[in-house]
Amino acid sequence: MPAVSMSEIRALDLGPEFPAGVAALEESATEGEASAAVVAGSLVAFAPGVSAEHQRDVLQSLLLAQLAANVKAERHKDPANWFKAYVAVLEQTAWVVETSTTATRFLPQTSTFSVASVVNFGFRSLTPEELANVTGAVNALRSDVGGFSQVVFECPSHSGGIGNFQAVFASEEDGVVGMRILQVSFNAAQHVTRLILENFTSTAKFQLGFLAVTQNEEIYAKVRASIAAKVESRFQGSVAVLELP
Q: Which residue has better confidence, 2 or 43? A: 43
Q: Print the SS3 string covering 179-190.
A: EEEEEEEEECCC
Q: Closest Cα to residue 196, out of 245, 152, 130? A: 152
- pTM assigned to the model: 0.89
Q: What integer pLDDT is reported at residue 245 of this predicted model?
A: 77
Confidence check: pLDDT of 30 > 90: no
Confidence check: pLDDT of 103 > 70: yes
Residue-wise pLDDT tens digits, 66-86: 999 999 999 999 999 999 999
Q: Give the SS3 label for residue 117.
A: helix
Q: How confident is the model at residue 7 (pLDDT cuts 50, 70, 90)?
A: low
Q: Closest Cα to residue 31, out of 47, 54, 45, 49? A: 49
Q: If you average pLDDT over residues 99-126, what whole number do you get?
A: 95
Q: What is the DSSP letter of 16?
A: S
Centre a 10 Å sphere on the Cβ of residue 226 and count the other Cβ atoms it contains: 13
Q: What integer pLDDT is reported at residue 5 of this predicted model?
A: 54
Q: If you average pLDDT over residues 120-134, what whole number do you get?
A: 97
Confidence check: pLDDT of 154 > 60: yes
Residue-wise pLDDT tens digits, 155-195: 999 999 999 999 999 999 999 999 999 999 999 999 999 99
| CATH architecture observed for domain 40-232 | 3-Layer(aba) Sandwich (3.40)
Q: How confident is the model at residue 16 (pLDDT cuts 50, 70, 90)?
A: very low
* Per-chain mean pLDDT for the chain: 90
Angstrom distance (rounded) from CA 70 to CA 41: 11
Rounded to whole angstroms, the maximal C-alpha distance in the chain is 50
Q: What integer pLDDT is reported at residue 57 of this predicted model?
A: 98
Q: What integer pLDDT is reported at residue 194 of this predicted model?
A: 94
Burial of 142: CB neighbours in 10 Å, binned 0-12, 13-18, 19+: middle
Where are the chain's structural domains? 40-232
